[in-house]
């Protein structure tokens, strides 16, 4: 980014000397644009009677459905995406539950992408409601902050929807920044501000660090990104294994991944490493249901279905196995996913050997909406995900 590009007044950060900045932070201008409570916002726009009310887009509160998204009024009660709708109802009994209309959301998503395309052709969609944009070279010669504001205004004026943006030298920092001033915010992190910006962040903010890895890092005394800065990459590898060098770069805001225009997701899944190894079959089934609910929500958010269902099991002795089954018709339904994974569980040592990790994923994917929904977020050498 150029020296003339100003930083967000709501996010003052101390600056480094330009000669001390990592070279990768001086090559790109990246925007991560993320719609604000997208599905809920579409519902409120199309039905103004819902405005200002706690709204949950998902299944009915007495079903096995999951929350696809919730309005900010519902989020105040702790309602979150991928949560079971029954739990959302317990947290917010006054919430209005609306069945999702993914065709309508996909249509709005296409309009949003058309707006992105006015400013750059280098677009990497992650789902219906978020994307990376590389605006290093743009046809208008605008600064990245100006483009983010124009996109925000275009979406509001043309679609009556709002979104938030993170503007930064790379994908890692831009994605974190886009979540800071939601809703309707723009957070800018200049190259000379990246190290300071990352230092104050809890490690959990880095994509790929989930609950189990967070606990593991905390046991080593690592809570914030800055806690790793006094360690060399080699020392972190000795302390943490192969995630050490990866974390060495990520905690410093170093990320050289390009914005990829043409990508196809090979699989989509969720996994969880338990804090205590589990032997009890009933408890394992409860964990399996939770995973399948999360996978269903992720599939529907991205308008993806899959035909091959995979169960991943890691025992307490770290032995890892996978079992899979391909069904005749692609699915994004928990009913199908749970039925298959329960069957696959029966051909493991579940109930006889303690299990420390379960994972559920789908492959052999197809899109139920626009093909650009098959984008894939970064992979990391970590066991668990958010």
Task: Give the pLDDT confidence of 115-125 residue by residue, as tens digits.
Answer: 999 999 999 99
Q: Which residues of the chain have pLDDT under 50?
A: 1-13, 370-386
User: Residues 156, 12: contact at Cβ < 8 Å?
Assistant: no
Which CATH number applies to 197-250? Answer: 1.10.150.20
Which of 43, 130, 214, 296 does the annotation list as catalytic? 130
Sign of CA dihedral 171, 129, 84, 79: positive
Domain 267-372 has CATH 3.50.50.60: no
13-45: buried (b, 16+ CB within 10 Å) or exposed (e) per residue? beebeeeebbebbeebbbbbbbbbbbbbbbbbe
What the block records as the tokens of 348 is 């493991």
- Half-sphere exposure of residue 129, counting CA atoms within 13 Å on the CB side? 22
Q: State the SS3 of 60-91.
A: CCCCCCEEEEECHHHHCCCCCCCCEHHHHHHH
Query: DSSP characters for 272-331?
Result: EEEEEEE--HHHHHHHHHHHHHHHHHHHHHTTEEEEEEEEEEEETT--EEEEEEEEEEEE
**Is 296 noted as a catalytic residue in this protein?**
no
Fold classification of 38-102 is: MutS, DNA mismatch repair protein, domain I (3.40.1170)
CA pair distance 199, 384, nearest whole angstrom: 22
Domain residue spans in the chain?
Answer: 25-35+103-191, 38-102, 197-250, 267-372
Query: Which residue shows structure tokens 């590009």?
Result: 5
Backbone angles phi, psi at 110, to 5 degrees: -65, -35
Which CATH number applies to 25-35+103-191? Answer: 3.30.70.270
CA pair distance 272, 384, nearest whole angstrom: 6
Query: Which residue shows structure tokens 């501000």?
Result: 193
| 25-35+103-191 and 267-372 have identical folds | no
CA pair distance 297, 292, nearest whole angstrom: 9
């Amino acid at each position: 980014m150029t020296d003339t590009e100003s930083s967000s007044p709501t996010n003052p950060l101390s600056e480094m000397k330009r000669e001390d900045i990592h070279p990768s932070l001086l090559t790109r201008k990246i925007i991560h644009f993320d719609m604000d409570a997208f599905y809920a916002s579409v519902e409120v726009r199309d039905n103004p009677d819902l405005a200002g009310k706690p709204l949950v887009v998902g299944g009915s509160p007495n079903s096995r459905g999951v929350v696809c998204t919730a309005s900010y009024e519902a989020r105040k009660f702790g309602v979150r995406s991928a949560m079971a709708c029954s739990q959302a109802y317990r947290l917010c009994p006054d919430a209005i539950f609306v069945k999702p209309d993914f065709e309508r959301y996909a249509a709005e998503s296409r309009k949003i992408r058309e707006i992105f395309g006015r400013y750059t052709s280098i677009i990497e969609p992650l789902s219906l409601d978020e994307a990376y944009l590389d605006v290093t070279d743009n046809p208008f010669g605008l600064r990245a902050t100006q483009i983010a504001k124009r996109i925000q205004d275009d979406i509001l004026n043309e679609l009556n929807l709002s979104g938030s943006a993170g503007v930064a030298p790379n994908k890692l920092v831009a994605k974190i920044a886009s979540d800071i001033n939601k809703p309707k915010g723009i957070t800018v992190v200049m190259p000379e501000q990246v190290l300071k910006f990352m230092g104050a962040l809890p490690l959990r903010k880095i994509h790929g660090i989930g609950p189990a890895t967070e606990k593991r890092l905390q046991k080593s005394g690592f809570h914030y990104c800055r806690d790793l800065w006094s360690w060399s990459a080699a020392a972190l590898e000795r302390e943490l294994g192969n995630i050490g060098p990866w974390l060495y770069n990520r905690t410093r805001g170093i990320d050289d991944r390009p914005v990829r225009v043409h990508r196809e997701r090979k699989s989509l899944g969720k996994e969880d490493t338990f804090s205590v190894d589990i032997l009890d079959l009933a408890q394992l089934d409860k964990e399996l249901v939770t995973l399948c609910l999360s996978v269903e929500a992720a599939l529907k958010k991205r308008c993806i279905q899959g035909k091959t269902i995979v169960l991943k099991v890691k025992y307490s002795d770290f032995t890892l196995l996978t079992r899979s089954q391909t069904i005749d018709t692609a699915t994004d339904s928990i009913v199908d996913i749970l039925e298959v994974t329960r069957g696959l569980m029966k051909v493991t040592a579940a109930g006889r050997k303690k299990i420390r990790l379960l994972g559920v994923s789908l492959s052999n994917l197809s899109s139920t909406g626009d093909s650009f929904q098959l984008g894939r977020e970064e992979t990391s050498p970590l066991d668990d995900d958010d």
